[in-house]
Amino acid sequence: MTHMKTVTFKNRNWDVAAVLRLPEDFDAGKKYPAIVCAHPISSCKEQTSGAVYGDALTKAGFITLAFDASTQGASGGEPRFSEDPATRVEDFRCAVDYLVTQPFVDEARIGVLGVCGGGGYAISAATTDHRFRAVGTVVAANYGRLMREGDMSPDAPLKTLAAIAQQRTAEAKGAAPLIAGYIPNSVEERVKAGITDIDIKEAVEYYRTPRGQQAGSPNKLRFTSTGPAMSWDAFAFTEEFLIQPLHIVIGSVPGGFGSYRDGFELYRRARSSQKALQVVQGASHYDLYDQPEVTGKALEQLIPFYKKHLGS
């Protein structure tokens, strides 16, 4: 059986909480390929990134490191519940810094896998940190695009920036921080709000019910932290710098979070000479979080991809 260890690594002056999974028959005297596993926005390491993909990749022979984003889950960092792209991307670099100090990790065979927003962050990190030798994404979403589109009204980004500015000024003058939710807090709340988009519907069913609910994923977002994402692109400079082998997984059922079209955009933009776009037929965004049949289809291609480019 595989082995799990709770570990921490540093980002600036705080600890990032992580779970290190070691393969069956692990031998500390050997060197193994390793994969950093990144959770979706609003998620935590105990959900899809670690419990589904990290676990499966470890069973396939890889060391995996699933971590909680800084300021979230069990990780340190202030202000709490921030969603700042620069800090999120730095978490990935710090995860590699940790792995290369472990004597049983082959520093020339480190990969990354990101789910949803974690996939967008994984792309951004790998674009400029080429210690990641193979890059995989599952329903990767470009958080910057999501923030800019907002509710799809013509002036949505400008309205959001105005609201952020107003809130920052209020907090600078002593107001309490505005901690919002990413999604409705319950199925009943979603229905009452009249929200029918499949991604939000299934997000509530995943995050706010026993299906996927975890203490490290409390549906809390510091509103003023979202400002930097308005001018951030998860896929920036991929045309120039993203040269690593790349495997992109999306579901064929599109939803409001846009991972379907982001998958095609990433495939088009990435400079990688070895790249593939896998469309899992009949699968929605959240099916690819935890539903065994469709996550199994994703892993049927992800595992050979990593074995090819990282060894086993």
Under DSSP, is residue 256 helix (H, G, I), strand (E, B) or coil? coil
| Predicted confidence (pLDDT) per residue in 245-290, tens digit | 999 999 999 999 999 999 999 999 999 999 999 999 999 999 999 9
**pTM of the predicted model, to two decimals?**
0.97
74 vs 16: CA distance, rounded Å = 8
Instruction: For the chain, give the percent of residues with pLDDT over 90.
Output: 97
228, 63 in Cβ contact below 8 A?
no
| Predicted confidence (pLDDT) per residue in 70-123, tens digit | 999 999 999 999 999 999 999 999 999 999 999 999 999 999 999 999 999 999
| Predicted confidence (pLDDT) per residue in 125-165, tens digit | 999 999 999 999 999 999 999 999 988 888 999 999 999 99
Under DSSP, is residue 242 helix (H, G, I), strand (E, B) or coil? coil
Task: Supply φ then ψ for residue 229, to 5 degrees.
Answer: -70, -20
- Per-domain residue ranges of the chain: 3-151+225-310
Regarding the domain delimited by 3-151+225-310, which CATH topology (the fold level of the hierarchy) does it fall under? Rossmann fold (3.40.50)
* Cβ neighbours around 282 below 10 Å, total: 11
